Chain A
Amino acid sequence: MTSFLQILLVGVALATFLAPGPATAQDAIKVGIVLPLTGDQAKFGEIEKLSFYLALEEINAAGGIKGKKLQFLFADDTGNPEVGRTVMEKLIKKDKVVMLGGGYASAVTYAMAGVAQQNRIPFLINTGSADVITEKGYDYIFRLNPTVSDYTSGLESFLTAVVKPKNVVILHESSLFGAEGAKAFKNTCEKLGIKVLMVEGYEGWFRAFDFQPLLMRVKQANPDLVYMISYLRDATLLMQLAREMKLTPKLFVGGAAGFTLPEFAQEAGKAAEKVISVTLWHQSLPIPGAREYFDKFKATYQRDTEYHGAEAYAAAYVMTDVLKRAKSLAPEDIKQALKETDMQTVFGPVKFVSYGKMTNQNRLNTYVVQWQEGKLRLIWPADLAQAKYVYPVDWLKEWGFK
């Protein structure tokens, strides 16, 4: 009797496997966009999704692509590489998207790049920045944004010309993005002759009390510069606690990511004031369309945008350009069109080049911004600056202790 049961159950299981999946419609050009829409990094995903959506409406209002409408299928990677790979797989296999976009956290983007390459579907990354993503020689992977080791290129001249720090402490979240960024900045400091006193990675960012002993150690080390690579919550907590603990180096510098998000200033309040951050973009830059994008975003959604949004908005236009130029919607033709890209976007010029170990990587300058009176202002390079940098800073006064 048991064996009858076995066959029955095998049959049931087979029926489960054999049952048909849902059908898909086919009238617009479908592009899959994978972003963190829930979970820890949802704030970044949100600003990018809104920007993608803003661009999509404009693109379709202007006639779409070759007479067809462009359609973005948004999928949520929840900040988890495994989930990211599953949704990529689904977009490719079930939804039959012609190309892929998005990619926020580096570790997730890296894992997803493998799926795109495996299935030979072009993937245009617009945020995931760890160097390794474009170092694997994957020919279907293209990246719009600079790599994390290039993040501080704009900061270097600011340090040598203005701050001239003797030593630095580097704190970073210990995922791929933070770890690679910390390594790159450490090398930069050594090159510039700045002594690196301490490099500490943390992962338990949701446990504020763990930052207290850490910041006490920083206080004892008494560095000129504290460089932090953090997402939103940890950036907020680190600065709030630094204020509470009266940790006063000459300068706090953030390595983009959490430090440029409007939510950082809202949540950290006074503690965000005069904090400097690296950025990849600013609306005041002399890039055609940059200011228009910023204003339109603000008018549409009643909130500010920053470089993550610009990356997404630019990526939508690169995709449109590529799909218009591609001979057909076959992956090889789209890949070829991506390779031949040479255009101007709100994020800057886009052209995918190979250099060193990198393949299909767009190279761009980076900049320095400072939070002044709750606004993110471009302060460096000096010839592009929108506002004069504030340095040196009297932290106790900024923080309202005096």
Chain B
Amino acid sequence: MKRNQVISAIIAVVFIILPLVVTSDYYRHLAILALMWVVIGGSWNLLAGYTGQISFGHAIFFGTGAYTAGILADKLGTSAWLGMALGGFTAVLAGLVIGFICFRLRGPYFALATIAAGEICRLIAVNWESLTNGMVGVLLIQTFRSKLPYYYVALALAAASLLVFNLVMKSKWGFYFVSIREDQDAAESLGINAALYKNLSLAISAFFTGTAGAFYMNYMAFIDPEVVFSLPYISIMAILVAIIGGVATIWGPAVGALIMVGIQETFRSAIFGLAPKWVSQSHALVFGLMVIFVILYLANGVVGDWPKIKRLVVRSR
């Protein structure tokens, strides 16, 4: 327990100092993206990893949050940071609607329903032009020219999310979540209100994903439906971040986010410009190959399968 706190403190200090050491905008940008994915991956993990509701639609919350911030700033001229404060709450509202519809279904049907719901949200954003500007998207000018403020906002968000997930999972709620995942009928027969706790898990998950979405709007200053409601690049990416790091572990998704963004960008920059240009064009291919590799050989992620990795390494020596 104590040792864990020391380690957390060290990690926190490293991350606070990091952007002061790394002055390149490009690498700061990567760090910001990675921190954002820490939040989203962790959120997905709470709902899917711990509560067992495999969502293929986290882009719904991400997009809702992003559009909340964007529309407030673009149409009403408020600060986009107000939107960031509200983005989480609108995402929770969206989450309750989705929960109302999709929680009637279980297992693979739930997953299917979330894919469909995500696609519907994307199409609404495309077609409701008076509100969302449709395919044109929302364009803002960033508040800050430096990456530094964004880095610290992202860091604060990531830290807050990890803290909340940790607290929740140590509380009674966490126990209920896991029992619903293990056997919903048994949990209900023990008097756990499954519908309530599933919605609760969804709400917390949606809140942080939505806030991350609103942050994305502020930071990237441009969104369109294809970007923020994307099935592969938001919903699936959220799953992959969690899986690669380790599902149903607190630190797994955080580690997964660093790995995913790190590897993706390494290939996107063609291994720091050392490899020929075609490597950077095939970074999406590498992403896909990595998914296959991880599911085949590291199904419980790097954190979850650590003993297995260690065994392999030790043996090969």
Contacts and interface: CB of A to CB of B under 8 A. Distances in A.
Interface of A: 1-3, 5-7, 9-10, 12-14, 16-22, 80-82, 85, 93-94, 107, 110-111, 113-114, 117-119, 130, 132, 136, 174-176, 179, 203
| 9 smallest beta-carbon distances between A and B, as pairs | A22-B273, A13-B258, A16-B262, A17-B27, A176-B136, A114-B139, A3-B7, A13-B262, A9-B255
B285 interface: no
Contact of A9 (B4, B31, B265, B302): B302
A107 B262 CA distance: 30
B110 to A, nearest CB: 30
A1 B134 CA distance: 50
B135 interface: yes
Nearest to A19: B272
Interface stretch (B78-86, B140-148, B170-178, B195-203): B140-148
B166 interface: no
B234 interface: no
B26 A18 contact: no
Contacts, number: 108
Given A5-B303, A17-B18, A17-B30, 16 more contacts: A2-B251, A2-B306, A3-B3, A6-B251, A7-B11, A9-B258, A9-B302, A13-B262, A16-B266, A19-B272, A21-B26, A22-B273, A81-B222, A82-B224, A82-B226, A114-B221
Contact of B306 (A5, A20, A118): A5
Contacts of A12: 259, 262
A12 B310 CA distance: 16
14 contacts: A5-B306, A6-B11, A7-B7, A9-B258, A9-B302, A10-B255, A12-B259, A13-B259, A21-B24, A21-B26, A82-B226, A107-B137, A118-B141, A175-B135
Contacts of A6: 7, 11, 251, 255, 303
B167 interface: no
A93 B262 CA distance: 19
Given A1-B306, A18-B27, A82 B227 contact: yes
Contact of B10 (A7, A107, A176): A7
B255 A110 contact: no
Nearest to B255: A9
B14 interface: yes
Nearest to A5: B306
B227 A2 contact: no
A140 to B, nearest CB: 11
Contacts of A7: 7, 10-11
Contacts of B251: 2, 6
A21 B139 contact: no
Contact of A111 (B31, B34, B224): B224
Nearest to B269: A21
A112 to B, nearest CB: 9
Contacts of A85: 220, 222
Q: Which of A17, A18, A82, A119 has the most CB of B within 10 A?
A: A17
B139 A2 contact: no
> Which of B11, B134, B139, B262 has the most chain A CB within a 10 Å cutoff?
B139
Contacts of A18: 21-22, 27
A248 B11 CA distance: 72
B217 to A, nearest CB: 12
A114 B141 CA distance: 6
B182 interface: no
A3 B306 CA distance: 11
A81 B137 contact: yes
B288 to A, nearest CB: 18
A86 to B, nearest CB: 9
